Chains A and B, each alone.
Chain A
Amino acid sequence: MSGPDIVTAPSLDYPTGTPPNEASPRRPHSISSARRAQANLQLLMPYVYVFVLTVAILILDPRLLVGPGALGAFFSLVAPLAFVAFGQTLALLTRGVDLSVGGVISLVTALLATHLNAKGPLIGLEVLAVIAIGVIIGWLNGLMIVLTGMQPFIVTLATWSIADGIAFAVLPIEGGTVSPTLINALSGAILGIPKSVLIVVGLFGLWFVVRRTRFIRDIVAIGSDESRSNLLGVPVRRQKVRAYIACAALAALAGIYLTVQAQSGSPDAGDQFILNSIAAVVLGGASIFGGKGSAASSIVGAIAFLLIPDLVFALGLTSYWSIFFQGFILIVAVTFNSAVQSRARTT
Chain B
Amino acid sequence: MSDLSGGFRRNSAIVLAFVVAGVLFLFGSIYAVDFASVAHIRTILITASFTGFVGVGQTLCMLTGGIDLSIPSVLAGAALVTANLANGVTSRLTWVIPLVLVAGILVGLLNGLGVAYAGVPPIIMTLGMSGAIQGLLLIYTNGGFASSPPESIVNFVTGDTVGIPNVVLVWAVISAVTIIGLSWAVFGRKLYAVGTNPVAAFLAGINVRRILLVPYAVSGLTAALAGVLLLGFYGQAFTDMGNDFLFSSAIAVAVGGASILGGRGHYVGTIAGAIVLTLITADLDVLSLGTAAVDIAYGIILIAAVYFGGRKLGRRRVAS
Contact = CB atoms under 8 A, between A and B. Distances in A.
Nearest to A345: B119
B203 A15 contact: no
B296 interface: yes
A121 interface: no
Interface string B113-140: 0111111111111011111111110110
Nearest to A7: B199
Given A20-B198, A275-B131, A342-B119, A330 B124 contact: yes
B292 A149 contact: no
A151 B260 contact: yes
A172 B290 CA distance: 10
Interface in A250-288: 274-275, 278-279, 282, 288
B303 interface: yes
Interface string A1-37: 1010010011111111111111000000000000000
B81 interface: no
Nearest to A20: B199
A277 B255 CA distance: 29
B202 interface: yes
B295 A339 contact: no
A326 B135 contact: yes
B295 A161 contact: yes
A166 interface: yes
A318 B295 CA distance: 33
A338 B320 contact: no
A307 B116 CA distance: 31
Contact of A328 (B128, B138, B247, B302): B128
Contacts of B135: 320-328
A297 interface: no
- Give the interface size class of chain B: 35 or more
Interface in A308-347: 318, 320-328, 330-331, 334-335, 338-339, 341-342
Given A155-B303, A279-B128, A331-B132, A12 B318 contact: no
Chain A binding surface, main DSSP class: helix
B261 interface: yes
B261 to A, nearest CB: 5
Contacts of B209: 9, 11
A290 interface: yes
A168 B291 contact: yes
Contacts of A342: 119
A1 B318 CA distance: 29
B300 A16 contact: no
B31 interface: no
Given A9-B209, A282-B124, A151 B134 contact: no
B122 A14 contact: yes
Interface string B253-264: 010000011110
Interface in A148-200: 148-155, 157-162, 164-166, 168-169, 172
Contacts of B261: 16-17, 151
B202 A6 contact: yes
A281 to B, nearest CB: 10
Given A162-B295, A168-B292, A153 B123 contact: yes
B303 A338 contact: no
Contacts of A22: 319
Nearest to A320: B138
Chain A to chain B: the 8 pairs with minimum beta-carbon distance, closest first: A327-B131, A324-B135, A165-B295, A10-B119, A17-B318, A327-B132, A323-B135, A162-B299
Interface of B: 64-67, 114-125, 127-136, 138-139, 142, 194-199, 202-203, 205, 208-209, 212, 247, 250, 254, 260-263, 291-300, 302-303, 306-307, 310, 317-320
Given A10-B119, A288-B120, 12 more contacts: A1-B203, A9-B198, A9-B202, A11-B115, A11-B119, A22-B319, A150-B310, A165-B291, A165-B293, A327-B134, A338-B118, A338-B120
9 contacts: A16-B65, A16-B261, A149-B318, A153-B123, A166-B292, A172-B291, A274-B127, A275-B131, A323-B138
